[in-house]
Each structure stands twice: as C-alpha cells, then as structure tokens.
C-alpha cells in the first residue's frame, strides 16, 4: 500500500502542475491524520521528489 501511495504522490509532484502538487499535499496530510508514521514517510518522499513545503502547510486533510 505504501509503495502505491508513494509512487502516486511522486507522479503527481513530478507532473509539474500546481494542481498535481496540491492534490499530493492533500493526500499526504490525509495520510498523516490516519497514520502519522506513514504520513511522515510520504511527506519526506514527496519533498525529495520536489514538492514545496508551502503546499504541505496550506493543505488540509480530507475529512469524512
């Protein structure tokens, strides 16, 4: 599961679009709400792939 999420997030970030980066940030923040360890790991990978931290700060997790 983590590998699929990670590859999806990296793909969104590397697409180069602001929309993809925004969606990636929301996914990361949502994962952090459910599983903080997984969310932190995904955040590190997203930032390493080029996601700006400002997107993560602005993103709100998806709430049910």
- Asked if residues 48 and 56 have their Cβ atoms less than 8 Å apart, the reply is no
The length of the chain, given as a count of residues: 64
C-alpha–C-alpha distance, residues 57 and 1, integer Å: 24
pLDDT confidence band for 16 (50 / 70 / 90) = confident
Residue whose token pair is 């599983």: 35
pLDDT in tens, 44-55: 999 999 999 999
Residue 1: pLDDT band (50, 70, 90) is confident
Structure-token match 């400002």, residue found: 54
Q: Full-prediction pTM beyond 0.95?
A: no
Tell how many helices (H) and how many strands (E) occur in the chain: 4, 0
Q: Which pLDDT band, with edges at 50, 70 and 90, does 24 fall under?
A: very high
- Rounded distance, CA 12 to CA 57, Å? 17
């Amino acid at each position: 599961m983590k590998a699929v999420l990670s590859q999806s997030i990296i793909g969104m970030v590397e697409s180069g679009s602001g929309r993809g980066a925004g969606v990636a940030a929301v996914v990361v923040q949502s994962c952090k709400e459910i599983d903080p360890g997984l969310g932190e790991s995904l955040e590190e990978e997203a930032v390493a792939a080029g996601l700006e931290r400002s997107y993560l700060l602005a993103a709100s997790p998806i709430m049910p």
